Every structure is written in C-alpha cells, then in structure tokens.
Structure 1
Amino acid sequence: MSASKRIPKIPFWAQIVAGLVLGVLLGWLARSQDIGWLKETLTQVGGIFVQLLKLAVAPLVFFAILVSITNLRKVNNAARLAAQTLVWFMITSLIAVAIGLGIGLITNPGAGTGLTPADGKAPESQGSWIDFLTGIVPTDVITPFTELNVLQIVFMAAVAGIAALKLGEKAQPILNLSESVLELLQKALWWVIRLAPIGTAGLIGKAIVTYGWDLVGKYATFTADVYIGCALVLFGVYPLLLALVAKVNPLQFFKGAWPAIQLAFVSRSSVGTMPVTQRVTERLGVPKEYASFAVPFGATTKMDGCAAIYPALAAIFIAQIFDVQLGIKEYLLIAFVSVIGSAATAGLTGATVMLTLTLSTLGLPLEGVGLLMAIDPILDMIRTATNVAGQALVPVVVSAREKILDLDKYASASASPIDDREPVAVGAEEKVAVAA
C-alpha cells in the first residue's frame, strides 16, 4: 500500500481551522506566561506570511488587469458585461452601507465604551478626494510598484490593456508575454497560499499577544456590529440576490466559493486571494473570459466589507466618541463615499485610507482613526471575507442574468481545495455570447 493511501489528505479548510486554534493557544500562552521568544516567533511568522502575499501584489494586479481587459476582445457584447458588473457592484455596495448605517443607529456602538477623544490619534497617512482624484495618475512608472500604490497600478494596467486592444495583432507578442508572466505569478502565489495554515497561527497568535482579550471589551458593541453587519450581507443579502435575481441555489454558491472566502478571512487581502477567487468563480460556471475581467476588477474596487459596512459603522462610532451629531446629509455622504470611493481601499490589508476619506468628507476628527487601529486586525478578517464573497457573487449574478452561466458546472461546484494545476483563464480562445 502506498504512503498516499495510508495517510489521509487533510482538507485545506481543516488545516486553516487547526492553524487558527493553534494560534489562539500559542498567543494566549505567550501573553499569559510572558514568553518573549514565542511572542517574537508568532510576530515574525505572521509578518512573513503577509509580506509574501504583498510581494506578489503589484505585478499580479498589473498583469491581471492588463490580461483581463485584453481578454474582453474574446467576449461578445463586452461593454454590456462590464457595465452590468459595475452596476451590480454599486447596488450591493449601497445595500451593504445601508445595513451598516442601520445597525449603527440601532446599537450606538460608541456609547458606554469609556473611550474619549484623548485616546485617539491622527493616522500617518490619510485619504482625501483631491488625493484620490489626482493620485490615480502616477508621476512615473516605477514608484507605484515600489510604494505599492494599487490604484495607480490599476490605472497603468488599464491604459496598457486598452492600448493593446487598439494595436491588435501588433501587440500579440506583449500579450503572450503578459499571460506567461501572470501564470508564473499565480504559480508562485499558490506556494504562498499553501502556507496559509502556518500564517494563520502566526497572525492570530500575534493579535492575541499584542491586544489580549481586555481590548475587546471596550469595543465589544462595535466589533459585534461589524461581524453582524458582514454576516447579514454575506449570509442574508447575497443568498437573496442569488435566489431572486440569479435564480440559482445560494447554498451551492457558498459550497463552491468557500475556499476563497476562508482564505480571505485568514489572509485579510482581497488581492492576495484573487487567484483563488477567480478559480472558484470559474468553477461556479462563470465563463473564463468574463471571470478573468470581473474578478481582478472586483479585487481592486469591490469592497462591501471594508468600504461600505465598516466606514458606516466607524463614522457613527467616532461621531459618538467625539460627541458630533450626524444627520440625513451625513448619512447620504457616507453612502456616496462608499460607492464612489471604494477603489481607494485597493484590495490591501486594512481599510484606513477608506476610513480617513469618509471622515474627512464628513468633517469628523481624523484622530478617531487611532481609536480603531488596535482592533482593526480582528475586524479585517470578516470584512475581507465579505469583500471576496461579493467579488465572486457579482460575476455569478451577471452571468445568470445574461444567460451565460453554465448551470451544470454551478450545480456540481464543490468545496474541494483549489488546485494550482487547474487551467487558468489566460489563453482561452472561444467566444462568449451574451443574450440580446
């Protein structure tokens, strides 16, 4: 009997859960017993895992966006698909921000915390509308990659992709090279993704060592609000859209998309999860050519957790701490910022830029951001899981509405781990027809 038959393969989700439990235990042990070397080890393990994910972000985003735009030439009525994708991004963001505002108004998360304005401090970096609008265009082609400015990288990739479409056959050598580089980056990122159980142990352990359980008490209502809001969107709004708009089985969606959702929860990076998100979207029956456009686009702009639910709740929380009254105008501004400014989050770990953009628009003190930084890693896990679920959901909804969703593949999608040997979207030649 071979070794592979004697030793059962542990499912990836079980490895993640094991890493989560181990991280909690090691973090508690390191904090309670004040074990310095264990604290440092957990910090380094978690930091290295996040750094490895970030290492691939800049080139991955550039080539994924470039290839996805050029792949649209293989899709009939591509403009219609792109427009439908953008519309549903906006619709789901509006629903998510409305839920965030509703929960915040009901629970008053800033009341009774014991926190005061003196506990906060202004962040080192912040977002503003001027920076957002002028910051899209880079001053050179190197800085966006070295400083990891994802928004500028997306801009350059979009320009390069559109230029390649205009050049036609002359650009084919560049496209072939771009597709090869993208496959190479995805292969390397798969190796990092396989380390997620170890990274989970480090990240969770580090959070417990750094913040402990006492911190959660002050932010209990706010933390519960964020998790409840994300859960309502994830397990309430999304299933309703699948059942009523796409007219497909919502349980099957979660079964197929689960590998991406669980990795997003651990990694806290939409862009780092993007290869898995694209694979599960294709396994759910979305045509490869359309998925290769919609998923990278969503990974950099579609943020229901980070850019809708969270800033809505955070604005209410900070306003209550600083004793600032919010009215209908402010709530409408929150909704506007959530829909229009969500690209500022850029699919990276954390949502500080989006939060500062919201606060500055409302005229709220930016020192309020400092009140939330300590608890942010705990909140970011569920926010990113919600982001990624939405990034897979919208292509399914649009494909179903346009009658290009492969219902047989959707019905047979499983929660089995995504294999890096599965075929990727680049290089496919068949056309995708959109119903008139």
Structure 2
Amino acid sequence: MKRFSFSLQLLLGLVVGIALGFVAKIWDVTWLAETLTKVGSIFVQLLKLAVPPLVFTAVLVSVANLRNVNGAARLATKTLVWFLITAAISVALAIGLGLIINPGQGVTLDTGSAKAPEHTGTWLDFVTGILPTNIVTAFTDVEVLQIVFLGVVLGAAALAVGEKAEPFLNLARSVLELVQKALWWVIRLAPIGTAGLIGKAVATYGWDLLAPLAKFSAGVYAGCFLVLLAVYPTLLAVWGKVNPLRFYRNAWPAIELAFVSRSSVGTLPLTQRVSVERNGVDADYASFAVPFGATTKMDGCASVYPALAAIFVAQVFGIPLGVGDYLLIAFVSVVGSAATAGLTGATVMLTLTLSTLGLPLEGVGLLLAIDPILDMIRTATNVTGQMVVPVLVARSEGRLDTAVFDAPPQPLDQPRAARVAEPATA
C-alpha cells in the first residue's frame, strides 16, 4: 500500500466498500454486511477515542501560546463572522432551491404513522452545549464544544498564573505529542475504515429508499453541491485570493472521510492536520478554528438540510409558508446551529427549525429512513466549510503559508511535522 498515496488509498477503500456492500445486499450475504458494519464502527470509535484529549490539549496549549500571538480576539471575531456569512449564503441558496423544486408537492406519504423524535432541539441547548454539567461526561460523551470550553478556561488560567503554570503546560504539550502519535496510527487505518463504513451504508440502505422521496433527496444533494462547487470556490477565489482547485486537492482526504464516516467530530483530527499541513493555516489559529467549527460550523446539517426539510414538511402537511417563515428559517439556520453543539446528526437541528416555525414534528419521522444517505453529503459539506473559513481568515490576517498551500500535498500517512506542535514564538 505504500506505493499508493493516502488519498488514493482512501479512494480504493471507497470503491472496495461499495462493491462489497452491493454484494452483501444483492446476494443477502449477512456475515459480510455484519463484518462491514463492525469494521466501520470500530474505526469511528478509534477516531472518537482520540478526539477528547486531542481537542483539550491542543486548545489549552494554543491558548497558553497566545502570549506570543497578536490579534487573538480579532481572529476569533473574524472566524465567527465568516461562520455566519457562509451559513446565511447556504440557507438562502437552499430556500431558493426549495421554492424552485417544491420537494413536498405531489408526495403522498402516510403522515398518520409518522412519530416525532424522542429528543428535540431547544434554544436552551445552546447554553447546555457549551457549559459542562460534569467534566467527566464532557469527555466520555465526546461533547467537543464543552471540551473546547474547558481547554480555553484552563489555558486562560495558565496565562494568568504565569511561570507557576509551566510544569502543567509542559505536561499538556507532552500529552498532545503522545495523542498525535497514536492518532496517526489510527488515521493509517482510514482506507480500511472507509471500506467498512461505505460498505455498511450500501448493504444496509442501498439506494432504493430514495425512490419515494427522490425530489427531496436530489434537492439536498443539489443544495450541498452548490455550496461545495459554487459558494466555497467563489469565496476562496474572490476573498481568499487562493486557487479553489488547490484547496480541494489539499482537503480531499478529509472531505472523503467525512462523507463515509458521517461524523464531523470523527473527521476532526484529519481536518485539523489537513488545514495546517496542506492548506498552510497557522497551527495555533487552526487549533481554535477547526474544533470550534466541528461543533458549530454545519452548512450541510444546519443550513441546507433544515431549510429544504422545513419546506418539504410544510408542503406534505399542506401548511403554507410566507415570507416571514422563510426569514425565520434563515434565522434559525444561521444562529441556531450553535444550539445543537455537542449533539449528533441533523435531527436535533431539524426539530428546532420545525418547532420554531410551528410545523408538525412528526415530519421528522418521514425523513428518518433516508437520513443516513443524506447525512453523507451533509457531513462532507460541513467539514469542507470547517476548512474553508480558517483559510479565509488566515489569508486576511497573514497567517496562511501560501508556499504550503500551493505545494504538492504532503503525504498524510507520514509522521506529522514537528513544527505543528511546537509552541509559537514571538
């Protein structure tokens, strides 16, 4: 396998997984389907196992290093502003697409048998998603935004304490190095994990479930592709003044892993490495922007999907939507994504949108059957946006290494460059 680049290995894993998935589905090979499911699950578990210590130590060390970084507050503000801008563009595009294709018109489904999900999103989740009620559960439940909060607080405390905190910071740096080393051993297994994850999706769901909801499913994929192939490249070329094709060349391994894993958090380690080592984003800034984006930057799950789904549900249940409703959809999508921090999937975000609009939550039940298939493109869009914004901000602040960005992509199956984990210097 060393003859092939890491990106090609991922692609081969994707092809093999699809082939095995179709074999398991068409010939009903139960043991193969179960094996693919287990392989994919183990890989995601290994990724998530490394995420809490990685995020915590990276953020803590980066905050402590801010004594040598100018304009930290400005960087954070710009990042948040770009999160809001790209979310607003994505949801506006999705609403426009929904008004054109009318995804729920002509769809006849048994709405009486649909049930509302057990857990629904509320605006209070914004606070509970950031502030941990229990430090231990924040790590065991992989509540990334809560872990980021703890890292920021302890990092700020270390700054305030000064020299007395150096032993603690040295320990954190050592743990960070150890976690990174172990993590790249897991990343080397990504081609096998990819085969298991995509194979399980094909074997379990196939594509036949899309038939009753073909227009809506096509709309979600079309909306995400418009964001991926039109919105992001335009922003990169016009505001970032970088080559969008080179960005996608650099970012492809993380995008591909996001597509098959359906997990922004699971992809986080690779997203962060790609941002620094391939896209040339400053390591200290990336340690803030990427974990923060993995919990709140969800253009696929929180913008495109809820907008189209709300229009779909309204049309299926025969509820007309006015201009005010569409503006409310945009508001919830732009601001409400943070309310789902620490929660998985797009279901919570969708229930938040529907409940805010006063639409029946039973509409969520109509879409659950095809959710795994839609979640692939949603997560790929999420992760791409989580890499686009740091490039835009770093470029505007002179923190983008264009030589790294334009250079041939560094192999990701090799040890991480030592410079990434080193403390920043004045």
* TM-score, scaled relative to structure 2: 0.92
Matches within 5 A, 1:53-202: 53-202=47-196
Number of residues paired by the alignment? 425
State whether structure 2 residue 417 is matched by structure 1 residue 385: no
Separation (CA, whole Å) in 2 of partners of 1:61 and 1:373: 31
Matches within 5 A, 1:221-240: 221-240=215-234
- Label 1:329 to 1:408 Cα distance change in 2 as closer, same or farther (>3 A): same
Q: Please state whether the residue corresponding to 2:130 is helix, strand or coil.
A: coil
Matches within 5 A, 1:36-55: 36-55=30-49
Separation (CA, whole Å) in 2 of partners of 1:69 and 1:394: 20
Separation (CA, whole Å) in 2 of partners of 1:349 and 1:196: 21
The corresponding residue for 2:256 is 262
Work out the percentage of aligned pairs sharing the same amino acid.
65
Superposition deviation, residue 344 in structure 1: 4.0
Residue deviations 1:219-276, cap 9 Å, x none?
2222221221111111111111111112222222122222222222222222222222
Q: Are the equivalent residues in 1 in contact too, given 2:40–2:197 (CA < 8 A)?
A: yes
Separation (CA, whole Å) in 2 of partners of 1:384 and 1:424: 30
The corresponding residue for 2:314 is 319
- Label 1:289 to 1:58 Cα distance change in 2 as closer, same or farther (>3 A): closer
Across the aligned residues of Structure 1 and Structure 2, the Cα RMSD in angstroms comes to: 2.3
Query: Which stretch shifts more, 194-203 or 145-154?
Result: 145-154
- Label 1:299 to 1:428 Cα distance change in 2 as closer, same or farther (>3 A): same
- Label 1:181 to 1:372 Cα distance change in 2 as closer, same or farther (>3 A): farther
Structure 1 residue corresponding to 2:422, chosen from 417, 421, 427: 427
- Label 1:368 to 1:189 Cα distance change in 2 as closer, same or farther (>3 A): farther
The corresponding residue for 1:375 is 370
Separation (CA, whole Å) in 2 of partners of 1:24 and 1:254: 23
Structure 2 residue corresponding to 1:341, chosen from 336, 340, 353: 336
* Corresponding letter in the other structure for 2:415: D
Superposition deviation, residue 21 in structure 1: 2.4
Separation (CA, whole Å) in 2 of partners of 1:131 and 1:345: 6
- Label 1:188 to 1:365 Cα distance change in 2 as closer, same or farther (>3 A): farther
Superposition deviation, residue 119 in structure 1: 4.5
Q: Are the equivalent residues in 2 in contact too, given 1:103–1:229 (CA < 8 A)?
A: yes
- Label 1:126 to 1:179 Cα distance change in 2 as closer, same or farther (>3 A): farther
Superposition deviation, residue 173 in structure 1: 2.0
Residue deviations 1:172-200, cap 9 Å, x none?
22222222222322332322222222222
Superposition deviation, residue 84 in structure 1: 1.0
Separation (CA, whole Å) in 2 of partners of 1:217 and 1:37: 27
The corresponding residue for 1:204 is 198
* Corresponding letter in the other structure for 1:205: G
- Label 1:370 to 1:189 Cα distance change in 2 as closer, same or farther (>3 A): farther
State whether structure 2 residue 389 is matched by structure 1 residue 394: yes
- Label 1:377 to 1:348 Cα distance change in 2 as closer, same or farther (>3 A): farther
The corresponding residue for 1:32 is 26
Separation (CA, whole Å) in 1 of partners of 2:393 and 2:331: 23
Query: Which stretch shifts more, 123-132 or 301-310?
Result: 123-132
Separation (CA, whole Å) in 2 of partners of 1:122 and 1:85: 35
5+ residue gaps in structure 2?
A: none
5+ residue gaps in structure 1?
A: 1-6, 432-436
Q: Please state whether the residue corresponding to 1:375 is helix, strand or coil.
A: helix
Residue deviations 1:147-181, cap 9 Å, x none?
33333333323322222222222222222222222
Separation (CA, whole Å) in 1 of partners of 2:349 and 2:30: 35
Separation (CA, whole Å) in 2 of partners of 1:404 and 1:50: 32
* TM-score, scaled relative to structure 1: 0.90
State whether structure 2 residue 4 is matched by structure 1 residue 10: yes
